[in-house]
Structure 1
Amino acid sequence: MSAPTENTASAAGSPVDLYDPAFLTDPYRVYERLRARGRLVPAVLPGVEKEVWLVTHYEDARAVLSDKRMLNDPTPLASAEGGADNLRLRMLEASGLPREYARYLVDASILDMDAPDHTRIRKHVSRAFTVRRVNALRPRVEEITDGLLDALPEHAEDGVVDLIEHFAYPLPITVICELVGVPEEQRSAWRDWGRLLITEGGPRREALIGIAEQAKELIAERRTGPADDLMTALIRTHDEDGNRLSDDELVSLVLTLILAGHETTAHLIGNGTLALLTHPDQLHLLRTGPDIGQRAVHELMRWCGPVHGTRLRYASEDMEVNGLHLAKGGAYAALLGSANNDPAEFPDPRRLDLSREPAGRRESHMGFGHGAHYCLGAALARQEGEVAFTRLFDRHPGLALAVPQEELRHDQLPFMWRLAELPVRLG
C-alpha cells in the first residue's frame, strides 16, 4: 500500500481522535484498523489542534526513526518556508506549565535534541548504562527485588495487594535513584511528581516545579559533597568544561534520567505480570524453560509494552523514506504499539509467545524505540524486568488476579498502555 503523495486529511481520511475511547481502551484492535487504512494516518494533537501523521507499519517506523533528516527539534525549520512549530512545547504550555520550567522538558532535554548536541550529551550518560555496568548492578537489583517481595504481605488487605503500588513502581524508582544519587528520603516525592506530571487535569505545574527545584538542590549538594554516583560524574563533566553540559542541560538530564528510568519499567512489570497471569502456558514456560528470562522480557515488551508512540519527528525537507512521501515541516510519530503488532514482521502478533525472540539476538521489537534516540536505559530496564518476573513468581507461585480482568482500569493516556492498579492475591 503506498502512502499519499500529499499529506492531507483529504488524501488519507479523517484524522484519528487520540482520545477516542476505543483508542484508549482497546488500542490493539484500533492499530489493526489503522494499518489497513494506510501507512500514514492523520491525527490531531490535543490542546493545539494541529494535524500530525501516525506511522503505522513496522518497516516504515524503523525507517523514519533512523533517518537523520527527521528532526526531534523543529527550531531550524521555524523561519523557513514550510516551517514547523514545536508542537510538544505548545502542548505543554497549553496544559498550564510555565515556560521557564517547560524548557527542562523540551529545550534542554536530550529527548528533544538532534546531533551534535544529542550526541554530545548521550556520550557522557551512556557510560553509566554499558552492558558491563548494568551487569554489575544485577546483585543490587536482586537485593532490592527480594526486599520488596518480603514486604508484600505487609501491604495486603484480606490477602490482596496492589502490585503496581507496592512492587512495580518501587523497584525501578529505587534502582534509578541509587544510580543517579537521589537520597532515599526524597524518592517518594520524585515518584509522586512523575505520576502527576503525566496525569492530565492534575497539578502538573506544581509537579514540574517541584522536580526542577529538587534537581537544582541535589546538583548543588553534589558540588559541595561529591559521591560515587552518576550525578557527581555529570557535574564533574560540566565543571571541567562548561561547554559540554549547560546548567539547564544538567537539570534536565537529572530529571529525564529519573522519570524515564522508572515510569516505563514500572509499567512493563505491571503489564507483563498481567499478561503472564492470563496466559498460564507462557507463565509455565517462564518458570520451567531454560534461559527464557531475557527472551520473555523482549516478547512482553513487544506484546504489552507501555509506550505506544514516539515523540514527534519533523521532516527537514521534502523527502521519501521507505517509499513514504514526507512533506517538509510535517510532524510524524511512529506508532510503536502498531509496529510491534504488524503481522508483516511478527506472524500472529497477538499470540503471546515468550520464545518468539531468538536467544542472544538484539531485539526486533521497537518497545525501546529505534535509531539515535533508542532508550539509553534499555539494558537496565530489561534486567529489572527479568529479575522482577522470575523472582515474583518463584516467591509467589500461586499469584492470581484478585478481580476479573475486565474490571482492571488503564490510565487514559494517548500513546501509553499502563494499568492504574493490579490487585493480586499472593500465593
Structure 2
Amino acid sequence: MSPVPELDLTDPAVTSDPFAAYGAAREQGPLAKLTGPGFPPMWVLTRHAEARAMLTDQRFALSEASYQRPEVPEHCRPYLRTMQEMEGAEHARLRRLATPAFAARRALDFRPEIEKVVARYLDALPAEGPVDLLAEFAQPLPMEVVCALVGVPEAQRPRWHEYGAAVVQVSGDGFAAAVPGIIDSSRTLVAHPDSAMLAHLANAGLTETESVALVWQLVLAGQTPANFIANSVETLLSHPDQLDLLRAEPDRWPGAVEELMRWCGSQLLTIPRRATEDVDLHGVRIRRGEPVTASIAAANRDPRVFADPDRFDVRRSAGAHLGFAHGPHFCLGASFARVQAEVALTALLDRFPGLRVLEAKRVPDPGTWRLAGLTVAW
C-alpha cells in the first residue's frame, strides 16, 4: 500500500483551495492524515463511498466533551448536551421525537415567515452600493430565522443576535456570558411555547431539558447558512451562464441549491468521530480514541459519484452530496436550511438584477469555506 498522504491544516495551499488539496489526497487513496501546529493529528476519509461508510459505522462515535465547559454556569451545562453528543438508543429516541418538527412539509409551511424576514433585510439595504452583503444580509438572516422559528419576541431579538454572534466564537468572555442568556431565555420560551416548533416538541414528549437543548443546537447550527448564502452569491455571480439559466427556468432553483451545497458548501469537514475500538481502515490501523473525520470538500467532488465534478452546473442531480453529512447525524434542519437559502438567493437576485461583486475576502480557515466580507454593488 502507498503511504497515506498528509495535509498540513496551516498550509496556505490547503486553506486557499481546500477542494484542490483534498482532491489531490483523494486521488492517492481513500484515507489521509491531517496535521499542523496547534491541531491534533486526525484521520480523514476523502472518497464519497468511504466517507459515507464511516459516518454510519458504529465503531466511530461523536465525543461528549463539547458540553463540559467549566466557564459556563453550572445550571446551564445540562442544556448544552445536544443530539450531537449522543449515540445509540438515546440519540435514536430523541431524533425520532424531534424529526417530525423539522420535516420538509413544515419547512415549506414556514416559508412565508422566512420570506418576510428576507424582505425586511433587503428593504434595509441602501438604494445603491457598495455594501458588505455578508455583514448586512447573509450573517444576520439565519439568526433572525431561528428567532422566528422558536418564537423569540421582537423586543428580545437584538439581544439574541448578540448572543448568537458570541456563541459561534466557541470561547471567550462573550461566549460564557451569552450561554446563560440563550439558555435562560429558551427555558422561558419552552415553558410558554408561542411557536409551532416548540409546541410540537412539547406535544412529542421531549422533556424541558431536551427542548431547551434543541433550541441551543438551533442557535449553534442554525447560523451556518450565513456562510453558505454568501458563498452561493459569489458562485452564482461568477457563473453568469448558470444564473441566466436559473432566471430563465426558475423551477430549477431547488436543484440549484443542492448543486451549490455540493460546490461551495461551507463545511469542509464533518464533526470528528473517535474510534471506540482499534479499527483496520483501508489498510491503516486506527487506534481506539483516535479522531476520524470525512472531507466533505473531497467527497462532494469525487468523480466516482459526480461526472465532471469540478464544473458548477445547476442542471446536475447533486442530491448525493454530503453537505448535510450522512447517517444518524444527518443535519436535522436540512429542510429549513434549503428553503432559507432558496428564498434568500431568489429574493436577493430578483430585487437586484444588476448585482455584481466588488470584493470577496476569504478567511484561511481549515474547517470552513467562508468569506470575511462580500462587497457588492448594483
Q: TM-score, normalised by structure 1?
A: 0.79
Match for 2:368 among 416, 420, 425? 416
Partner of 1:32: 23
Deviations 1:173-226 (A, max 9, x none): 2222111122333334433443444448xxx33233233212332244236644
Q: Secondary structure at the match of 1:402?
A: strand
Question: Are positions 1:371 and 2:327 aligned together?
Answer: yes
Partner of 2:377: 425
Task: State whether residues 58 and 345 of structure 1, in contact with CA within 8 Å, keep that contact through their aligned partners in structure 2.
Answer: yes
Task: State whether residues 307 and 367 of structure 1, in contact with CA within 8 Å, keep that contact through their aligned partners in structure 2.
Answer: yes
Task: State whether residues 219 and 235 of structure 1, in contact with CA within 8 Å, keep that contact through their aligned partners in structure 2.
Answer: no
Q: Secondary structure at the match of 1:409?
A: strand
Match for 2:176 among 200, 209, 230? 209
Task: State whether residues 219 and 231 of structure 1, in contact with CA within 8 Å, keep that contact through their aligned partners in structure 2.
Answer: no
Structure 1 pair 57–221 and aligned structure 2 pair: CA distance change class (3 A): same
Structure 1 pair 226–56 and aligned structure 2 pair: CA distance change class (3 A): closer
Task: State whether residues 222 and 232 of structure 1, in contact with CA within 8 Å, keep that contact through their aligned partners in structure 2.
Answer: no
Q: 2: distance between equivalents of 1:35 and 1:226?
A: 47
Task: Give 1:105 shift.
Answer: 8.8
Task: State whether residues 42 and 52 of structure 1, in contact with CA within 8 Å, keep that contact through their aligned partners in structure 2.
Answer: yes
Structure 1 pair 255–304 and aligned structure 2 pair: CA distance change class (3 A): same
Partner of 2:310: 350
Task: Give 1:323 shift.
Answer: 7.7
Deviations 1:44-69 (A, max 9, x none): 3764x532101111111111112233
Partner of 2:96: 123
Q: 2: distance between equivalents of 1:172 and 1:326?
A: 38
Q: 1: distance between equivalents of 2:156 and 2:281?
A: 46
Partner of 1:78: none
Q: Secondary structure at the match of 2:251?
A: coil
Within a 5 Å distance, the mapping from 1:27-426 to structure 2 comes to: 27-44=18-35, 47=38, 50-73=40-63, 108-153=81-126, 159-199=129-169, 204-222=171-189, 225-231=192-198, 233-234=200-201, 245=207, 247=209, 249-261=210-222, 263-319=223-279, 326-357=286-317, 363-403=319-359, 408-426=360-378
Task: State whether residues 40 and 55 of structure 1, in contact with CA within 8 Å, keep that contact through their aligned partners in structure 2.
Answer: yes
Structure 1 pair 171–223 and aligned structure 2 pair: CA distance change class (3 A): closer
Task: State whether residues 60 and 321 of structure 1, in contact with CA within 8 Å, keep that contact through their aligned partners in structure 2.
Answer: no
Task: State whether residues 48 and 299 of structure 2, in contact with CA within 8 Å, keep that contact through their aligned partners in structure 1.
Answer: yes
Task: Give 1:99 shift.
Answer: 8.9
Task: State whether residues 52 and 331 of structure 1, in contact with CA within 8 Å, keep that contact through their aligned partners in structure 2.
Answer: yes
Structure 1 pair 36–268 and aligned structure 2 pair: CA distance change class (3 A): same
Task: State whether residues 45 and 52 of structure 1, in contact with CA within 8 Å, keep that contact through their aligned partners in structure 2.
Answer: no
Q: 2: distance between equivalents of 1:297 and 1:388?
A: 11
Task: Give 1:160 shift.
Answer: 0.9
Q: 2: distance between equivalents of 1:321 and 1:40?
A: 8
Structure 1 pair 132–323 and aligned structure 2 pair: CA distance change class (3 A): farther
Partner of 1:79: none
Q: 1: distance between equivalents of 2:56 and 2:201?
A: 27
Task: State whether residues 163 and 421 of structure 1, in contact with CA within 8 Å, keep that contact through their aligned partners in structure 2.
Answer: yes
Structure 1 pair 425–101 and aligned structure 2 pair: CA distance change class (3 A): farther
Task: Give 1:236 shift.
Answer: 6.5
Q: Which moved more, 1:410-419 or 1:266-275?
A: 410-419
Q: 2: distance between equivalents of 1:99 and 1:141?
A: 33
Task: State whether residues 176 and 258 of structure 1, in contact with CA within 8 Å, keep that contact through their aligned partners in structure 2.
Answer: yes
Over the residues paired in the alignment, what is the CA RMSD in angstroms? 2.9
Task: State whether residues 190 and 212 of structure 2, in contact with CA within 8 Å, keep that contact through their aligned partners in structure 1.
Answer: no
Task: State whether residues 310 and 335 of structure 1, in contact with CA within 8 Å, keep that contact through their aligned partners in structure 2.
Answer: yes
Structure 1 pair 336–399 and aligned structure 2 pair: CA distance change class (3 A): same
Which residue identity is paired with 1:114? E
Task: Give 1:314 shift.
Answer: 2.1
Which residue identity is paired with 1:402? L
Q: 1: distance between equivalents of 2:75 and 2:131?
A: 37
Deviations 1:70-129 (A, max 9, x none): 2113x7xxxxxxxxxx5x67xx97xx95595995697x1211210222122222322221
Q: 1: distance between equivalents of 2:310 and 2:214?
A: 36
Q: Secondary structure at the match of 1:292?
A: helix
Q: 2: distance between equivalents of 1:160 and 1:304?
A: 24
Task: Give 1:425 shift.
Answer: 0.5
Q: 2: distance between equivalents of 1:291 and 1:323?
A: 46
Q: 1: distance between equivalents of 2:37 and 2:152?
A: 34
Q: 2: distance between equivalents of 1:191 and 1:20?
A: 33
Q: 2: distance between equivalents of 1:101 and 1:217?
A: 9
Question: Are positions 1:12 and 2:4 aligned together?
Answer: yes
Q: 2: distance between equivalents of 1:332 and 1:145?
A: 38
Q: Secondary structure at the match of 1:50?
A: coil
Structure 1 pair 100–308 and aligned structure 2 pair: CA distance change class (3 A): farther
Q: Secondary structure at the match of 2:41?
A: strand
Q: 1: distance between equivalents of 2:262 and 2:240?
A: 18
Q: TM-score, normalised by structure 2?
A: 0.89
Task: Give 1:398 shift.
Answer: 0.6
Which residue identity is paired with 2:337? A
Task: Give 1:325 shift.
Answer: 5.9
Task: Give 1:320 shift.
Answer: 5.4
Task: State whether residues 286 and 390 of structure 1, in contact with CA within 8 Å, keep that contact through their aligned partners in structure 2.
Answer: no
